[in-house]
Structure formats: C-alpha cells, structure tokens
Amino acid sequence: MLQHQRPACQGSVSAGPSRQLLLSRPCIRPRSCRAATVAAQAVNRAEFVRLVQQKTEASQRGRIKELNLQEVEEVVKATLDTVVDTVARGDSITLTGFGKFERRDRRARQGRNPKTQESISIPATVTPGFTPGKAFKDTVKAQQK
C-alpha cells in the first residue's frame, strides 16, 4: 500500500492481481494528486499474448486443439505486422466495431522556439493514426461509470 506524500490527500494506491492500480479511497485533491490519475497500468506484449490465449481457450472449449502461447504470439505478431505494413503503404484498415488504422499526413508549418521566440520551419511528416469505432468507445465509456 502506497501512501501519498501530500497531507491533504486521503487516497491510497494498491497494486491488484493484474498489475492494475486501484484507489482504496477517493482523493480529496484530484488535480494535484497522482492517485486520481493512476487508474491502470499499460499491458505489455507478453501480457497481451497471455490474455489473448486465455480468451481463445475459453472460446475453444470442446475443440480438438487449443493454441499454446507460442502460436498465439505468432498470430499477434502477424496481425501487428500486417497493420504496420498496410498503414506504411498508405492504405487503411477498418475493423468494424474496433476502429480504423490509417496513415495521416501532416503539412509543413511554422512554429516558434519557446526559449528564443524565433520562428522555425517544421517540415511535413507522416504519422500513423487510429480512430476508435463506436463499439470500442461505448465499451470504454461504460467502464468509466
């Protein structure tokens, strides 16, 4: 159990079984306290593969063969490689209910160096983009309540 440094903060943080940080009590000063903003930690690739394996095991009960961790890792790697290669080519991938992966072009623009206030030229660039689908947004919004 971690106690916060600020005396006005009544919240405490504990690590749950899935490395998720949970607040045991609400924080009095949510804007100045890290406890109010720490809701969960990111899932790394190995944990993601394990979660996918657990989901596939649950959906494959009664089938001849279950996927092991190495096979699930290969499927996840192939999926991510396909998304990266497709977006890098300039195409987009739409997964209905989940979202859309696409390439976004940013035009060149003028910026300002905050230290010297000198005007600088920022070159055009290309970045990957993701737009969540309606079902994804609705699920996240439902978890917020």
Those residues with Cβ within 8 angstroms of residue 15's Cβ, 6 or more apart along the chain or in another chain? 21
Q: Return the pLDDT at 112.
A: 95
How many whole angstroms separate alpha carbon 14 and alpha carbon 38?
A: 11
Q: Return the pLDDT at 6.
A: 44
Q: Return the pLDDT at 36.
A: 43
Q: Return the pLDDT at 20.
A: 43
Q: Return the pLDDT at 56.
A: 79
Distances in whole angstroms, Cα of residue 139 to Cα of each of 43, 117, 132, 145: 18, 44, 11, 11
**Three-state secondary structure call for residue 111:** strand
Mean pLDDT by 10 residues, the chain (145 residues): 44 44 46 49 87 78 73 91 95 94 96 95 96 94 84
How many whole angstroms separate alpha carbon 25 and alpha carbon 23?
A: 5
Q: Give me the sign of the Cα torsion angle 111, 113, 117, 121.
A: negative
